[in-house]
């Protein structure tokens, strides 16, 4: 099971963290896990390298976390797109992918 958590502060995305493996197929062959990883890493690249947003992130085997330090509207929309994408995948694969939202200080 992969858990996708989106972090908010006062209605704005301030980060996200994904952890676990989807578990549909073995490591390296799981297309859903690969899709989640690809869209998540593309979001981080877009935030940092395309938009120039100040982010802090860590990518490890089985986990990705990202903290957003700015409030750019474009950055918010990028993370919202990621949120909607993995939410749609979680509807298709509810036993393998969960999405939650958390308000943080």
The pLDDT tens digits of the residues spanning 60-74 come to 888 999 999 988 999
Contact 66, 17 (CB under 8 A): yes
> Which structural domain, as residue segments, surrounds residue 85?
2-95
The structural domain count of the chain equals 1
Pairing outcome for strands 97-103 and 2-9: parallel
Task: Tell me whether residue 70 is in a domain.
Answer: yes
pTM (two decimals): 0.91
| pLDDT recorded at residue 25 | 65
State yes or no: pLDDT of 23 exceeds 80: no
- CATH number, domain containing residue 28: 3.30.70.1490
């Amino acid at each position: 099971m992969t858990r996708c958590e989106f972090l908010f502060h006062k209605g704005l995305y301030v980060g996200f963290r994904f952890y676990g493996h989807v578990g549909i197929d073995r490591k390296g062959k799981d297309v859903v896990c690969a899709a989640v990883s690809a869209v998540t890493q593309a979001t981080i690249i877009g935030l940092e390298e395309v938009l120039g947003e100040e982010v802090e992130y860590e990518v490890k085997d089985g986990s990705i976390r990202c903290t957003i330090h700015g409030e750019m509207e474009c950055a918010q929309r990028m993370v919202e797109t990621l949120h909607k994408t993995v939410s749609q995948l979680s509807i298709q694969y509810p036993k393998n992918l969960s999405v939650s939202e958390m308000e943080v200080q």
